[in-house]
Structure 1
Amino acid sequence: MQIGLVGMPGSGKTTLFNLLTGNEKPTGPGGADEVYTGSAVVPDQRIDYLAQLYRPRKTTCARIEFKDIPGAKMEHSRARASRLLDEVRSATALVQVVRAFGKTAAMPDEPDPFSDLINYGSELLLADMDTLEKKLARFEDNACKKGDTSDQIALYRKILSALENEQPFGSISLSPAEEDLLSDQVFLTGKPLFAVVNIDEAQLQNSIYPRKEKVESWAAVKNLPLITVCAQVEMEISRLEPQEQIEFMKDYDLTESGLGRLARMVYDSLDLISFFTVGEDEVRAWTVRKGATAPQAASKIHSDISRGFIRAEVFHYDDLYRLGSGQKVKEAGQFRLEGKDYIVQDGDIISFRFNI
């Protein structure tokens, strides 16, 4: 899973990217105008406990890939703007970073997070409309030359009409046949979208920022998951020693890092869960969608395990934490053998039996 950080120039995308990934990429107007990529560990106290209990040679946490996509600027060429849109299209999901922090030397204008939130959404709509209009023109031209493509043309017109009425592609009702016709299409407004309001230190302490009520109301109406992060303060905290980090987090009344809140928002909204494999060699977290069967979870480890799946040995993290050891979990009758129809639950600890 790769998440694209998007938004208006000067919103603090690169500062947030550095906070999430531990990078030190240049920020502000003097920053390099390029796409940055990096990854972040998904914070999970459960894997910390499992690593303490099993003391493996290797501990592997779940990770999220991020890419920081520069906002298009007036001086960019059409080709440059197109390449940036392609970067947006290739992301699994989008996080719009919205500036709420006050005036700075680099950003002397007053912030307007509500307008920025709406305007970027409009840009995505316009980009989808532009792409669709070009495809529709090609299909109509080909229909004259090569024959009937009426189903495709009718579908494109239906989608274009919805987009023109400010209806994102993701909210358009499609039949299975229509979905098949669009199997190779990517719509920006069909991607999962999240918002991070980037605030400053004073706003963090006061829990207020410009037009906050309108931003939150808009997000609620649009079912847009939204959190606030003071990227600059959290970036400074992240550079401190662990004990100092805890103390400063308390001073700012922060119970969870920006990365932790963003990861939780993404996992909850995309219906993602974690299961674990444990042993002396490695303790590892794996990410699957809710509803995944045991063979589907096994395929995350290796396709051979899924193909040769026999059974899954399963117990739950909560039982292990409560009882203190795998042996006590077995003695308490909480250790199970599950078949191919078993639906994996968040926090399951699984060992797969397979034969190839």
Structure 2
Amino acid sequence: MENMPKKLLDFLRDQFPLGSRIMLTEMKADLQPLPPGSTGTLNHIDEAGQFHILWDNGISMALIPGADCFQVLPQELQTLKLYMPLTADFYETDEYGGLSDYASELGGEDLVQYTGCILNSLINERLPEEAERGIMHWYGESDTVDAKVHSVVFTAEIRDNRLWGVAECKIAGKLFHQELEDLKEYIAGQAADGWGEGFEQRPIRLDDGDLYVHLWNSENWSIQTEKERFAPKTADGLPALCFSILRTTGQLICIKRGDTGYYPSDWDTGNREENEKLADDINSNMGVSPIQRQAMEIGSMFGWDVPGADPANYKVHDSAPMEGPQLEKMEL
């Protein structure tokens, strides 16, 4: 197939950005067409003008404009929040009405009381050019991040008794891992040297002093999704997996760290005593202690953030495997 003229190709790529949602009306150019109504995501438009679609059924197949009939679906924007720690310098008003030469350093817990003032200042800092896309107005790249991320604005939110900086993103479609990492890197740059640098240089006037808020700092700073930041963390000291048996049936099972329930093992012998010995032998060969096994059993049943899922909470003489776990079966 011949290449399409560059001007027409540029026009198509401009009109149909990567990540566009496509619904098939009729596929005429393929010997094994997909059924009408099939939906997918535009992956790229090649030099011949073919629309390469990753269909929702997992198939990758191209459409040929003019031969195949399809329509572009309007995408609902989803909200993605990326959280970052806030810090601030507070210059207190002295007895003469001036400001102290020395600042008090404040963290997220200290800033909760100033939530309203900080939110207002973040909103007032936004420029007219940012009205539609926020800091994505300054992104400057024509890539899939630019196509999928409609807007990003800085705001703040109280979580776990702390005030956090938040990059609130409106997303069309789903970000792939590298796209999310690229977005985080861009926002981190804006928090440190771009938008955030200007914001931190303008004081927030309070009754008893001036507050300078930092979206970024050089120590213990990171930008994370809500799940990465606030989801319960799996206890340290646990192996990736271990083996156990069901006390009710004696079935040999595998428990995976972080998963709820268990996985039936293909090595099951059908005999309780043999399965118990096999579980002990496999765990021993993998370096899994009885304490770790017990913690894994607890975590798989009651959650990985409970005290029983942390092997540090066990004493050595409590290391015998737990009696009677009623584990919920998980299908592979």
Structure with higher helix content: 1
- Indicate the structure whose relative CO is greater, using CA pairs within 8 Å and at least 6 residues apart: 1
- TM-score tier by shorter-chain length is under 0.3
Normalization by structure 2: what TM-score? 0.27
TM-score (norm 1): 0.26
Higher share in strand? 2
Larger gyration radius, structure 1 or structure 2: 2
